[in-house]
Chains A and B, each alone.
Chain A
Amino acid sequence: MIPNPSEGHHGGLVLFGPDRYLFIGQGDGGIYRDPTFPAQRLDNLHGKILRIDPRRHGTQAYRVPKDNPFVDRPGRDEIWVYGLRNPWRFAFDPATADLVIGDVGELIAEEIDVAPRAGLNFGWSCLEGRAPYASDGPASCARATPPARELIRGSIRAEKPDGDLPTVTRGRPRANTRLMPGEPVCSITAGVFVRDPSLPSLVNRHLFGDFCDASLHSFRLERGHVVDERELGLDVLLLSSFGVDGAGRVYVTSLAGPVYRLEAAR
């Protein structure tokens, strides 16, 4: 039992990995602008994905695999990756065993983080997505791994951003540089790679969506990078999770009530 200092950010998933160890998604504890940067500290279990062997070992309720990155190093042995806010759903790429994490954002961005190896720091709460969130964070923030994909909250974008230093005489928005509101996102739900051969257009692709933006999306993972992102053309209001049954069929759950199963179009 990991005590949580607030009602939120408990994480949301425990999952056996391809190595048969148990991975636990643990949120940062939910204290707004927590000045102690719990997700960056290695002496607690908040804001991490943990990896344990859940079998009882003598008097211990579980044991820690010896190849966990912080075994025999400063920091809690259970930590696999850290610097996360609320890793609501995560999954392993069946081809590479890369860990794909959907980390729910605070104000700026929703993240899809990819961990091809253990010990990575994804930057929360110094960074949210690629943007600075808190400027007075610990030194570990400088070594943060950027997200493989970020969905900007509020989703405002310049149609044609210059991408260089702003100058006042180029301050006049030029043609085609209007700020365009896109689809709003608010809480990412990642978490399943499709293996169902009856869904050939989705096989080996990772499904994800957002609680506020109803449209489902998928992507492939290529050497740790998110590529070939597509919309499925399916909407699920109030998306909460994905699941897979023993036959590999994919399910989608909604807080509006229904549980959907994905089938190929006839």
Chain B
Amino acid sequence: MTSRPPAALPKTWSPLDFGLHAFLVVNPFALGLWIFSLAPLVGGNLFLAVVLAGVVILLGAVVYGALAARWPWTGGDYAWQTRLLGARFGAVVALTSWWLVVALLAPVYGNVIVVQALDPLLMHAGWDGVASWFHSREGTFAASLMAVGVAAAFVGLGMRRAAIAQRVLVVMGSAALVVVLALLVTGDLAAVSKEFDAKAANVYGASPLASAQIVEIGGFDAKVTEVEPGGTFRLVPLLLLFGLWIGWAGPLIGEVRARKPASVSLALVRVAAVSTVASLFFLVAIGRGSTWEFWNEANNLYWGTLHGTTAATPLSAWPSPVVLAAWLTDSTLVQIAIIAGMAAWVLGWTATLFLSATRVLLAAASDRVLPNAVSRTTGDSVPLVALGLLVIPACALAAVDAYWDAFAEWSAVAVIALAVTTAGSGAAAVAGFRREHRSLAAISALFVLLVVLTIGVWVLDPVYGMRTFGALAFLAALYGISAGVYAVSRRRERKALVTMADASG
């Protein structure tokens, strides 16, 4: 085991930039809203589940924060696991999630861009045909390419300009968020129903009684005051599908200039707290503005209509709480401005797709697990070859995803690989801190246990649909590819060694 840092890059980010990047990853206004809408498929008390998931995320922030403060190495998960747990294990686990799985994720990001940003914006602008096209196979592929483009452009900006870009997005998103919260909190049920009916009919051609119909046929009893422990505990792993990635910015830690190591730990803890509190505030505002029952029933009908398990939804679109809030204003331009403003959160989240992954590939190349060329960067710390290693397979896999339905079902299981890497870093923290900081080691062990339990629920609970032979075989194949890459690299390394016999000869 060695403590040699795997790569060195200029330290251009402040702890604030590091924290903002981490927040964009787990912000509840992008993938979070999407996940919240799925809650009726599981049941339980969403408010309570957010708090419980928040505890897991907070533990993750403590673990990742401690690792980042103690070993601020470029490559994050890869660096910690190869150094603290073993080179082979760390390389296979980290390359699977940070290379192969990240390359698989573009369609998920593309879908959120379409549903939460493009579709409502285009429909409000009156471009229904374009909005519909984005739901075709070609449109799905194009949306995935957009996600790849946004993520690649963010890396291409270089770290200094990327920091500015994400600050701008957070300011834009926050301004829109304030407006959305104000609208939801001040609107009463009667106003929401009336405006919803009028605007849903105008924008989506819904029945003029759509809100009453949703309440009537929604078929879901959303819990507010009841604990309902079974359903609530089942909801926690669902929420962790977007919240568990609190350490996503970890691979960038080598580029953060922190006067005190504790400042990066604190940044992650703050991110975890803000993400959970913001989730709760937003959900309370939805409940206050449009009524909890109405929003949940609209979600239940949306998913039920797609799967043919409920009566048909009266609203032909994902029931976005942002759109519900925007409909409390009368001007189409203001509605578009609000939706576009909140789209900054989606854009910022999409921008985070590749940046950390490039640092993992860069660190692996420094260790000669990947070819040396992968470690090359421009003057602005842009690792072009590493970026290419992500962009090219991401585009190819996006095409496969768009045109082959079975692949989309298999690839969903790849999220398990991300969680395994998260648990791996928790285990690295246990190994690293077990002598010098036993309480941190204990917290890390608890975090690992919770992540393993989460993975168990994802695999075993049929609502996650991951326990299929195709999906699990696909996951095994991903690890197989990484193991193959690692084995080939070691073989090449052994061949390149100069032996004593060679030297003396």
Contact = CB atoms under 8 A, between A and B. Distances in A.
| B contact patch SS | helix
A133 B218 CA distance: 10
Contact of B42 (A133, A152, A168, A173): A168
Contacts of B212: 107
B311 A108 contact: yes
A107 B136 CA distance: 30
A162 B306 contact: yes
A167 B412 CA distance: 11
Contact of B135 (A132, A165, A177, A181): A177
Interface of B: 34-35, 38, 41-42, 107-108, 111, 115, 132, 135-137, 139-140, 204-207, 209-210, 212-213, 216-217, 219, 238, 241, 302-318, 402-403, 405, 408-409, 412-413, 415, 462-466
Given A107-B216, A108-B217, A154-B207, A179 B305 contact: yes
Contact of A154 (B41, B132, B206, B306): B206
Interface in A164-197: 164-181, 184
A181 B316 contact: yes
Contacts of A152: 311-312
A156 B314 contact: yes
B463 A168 contact: yes
Given A161-B307, A169-B464, A156 B135 contact: no
A180 B316 contact: yes
Given A107-B217, A176-B135, A168 B238 contact: yes
A135 to B, nearest CB: 9
Contact of B463 (A164, A167, A173): A167
B413 A166 contact: no
* Most chain A CB atoms below 10 A, which of B140, B205, B212, B307: B307
B305 A156 contact: yes
The 9 A-B pairs at the shortest CB distance, nearest first, are namely: A167-B465, A178-B135, A169-B412, A161-B308, A166-B307, A131-B311, A175-B137, A154-B314, A163-B308
A178 B241 CA distance: 23
Contact of B213 (A154, A168, A176): A154
A230 interface: no
A158 to B, nearest CB: 5
Given A161-B305, A166-B41, A181-B205, A175 B402 contact: yes
Interface residues of A, number: 38
A162 B309 CA distance: 9
A165 B312 contact: no
A169 B466 contact: yes
Nearest to B132: A178
Nearest to B212: A107
A162 B308 contact: yes
B409 A156 contact: no
Given A166-B41, A181-B206, 15 more contacts: A107-B217, A131-B311, A152-B312, A153-B314, A161-B306, A161-B307, A163-B308, A168-B35, A168-B41, A169-B412, A172-B108, A175-B140, A175-B402, A176-B135, A184-B207
Given A156-B316, A181-B316, A184-B207, A166 B464 contact: no
Contacts of A66: none
Nearest to B408: A174
A154 B111 contact: no
Contacts of A179: 302, 305-306, 313, 315-317
B413 A169 contact: yes
Contacts of A109: 311
B207 A153 contact: yes
A159 B316 CA distance: 11
Nearest to A172: B111
Contacts of A145: none
A177 B316 CA distance: 11
A127 to B, nearest CB: 11
A181 B306 contact: no
Contacts of A153: 207, 213, 312, 314
B473 to A, nearest CB: 16
Interface string A141-156: 0000000000011111
Contact of A177 (B38, B306, B413, B463): B306
A157 interface: yes
Given A154-B206, A158-B305, A179-B302, A168 B115 contact: no
Interface string A127-141: 001011100000000
20 contacts: A107-B216, A108-B213, A131-B311, A132-B219, A154-B207, A154-B210, A154-B314, A156-B316, A158-B306, A158-B307, A161-B308, A163-B307, A168-B241, A169-B413, A170-B412, A171-B303, A174-B140, A175-B402, A176-B136, A178-B135
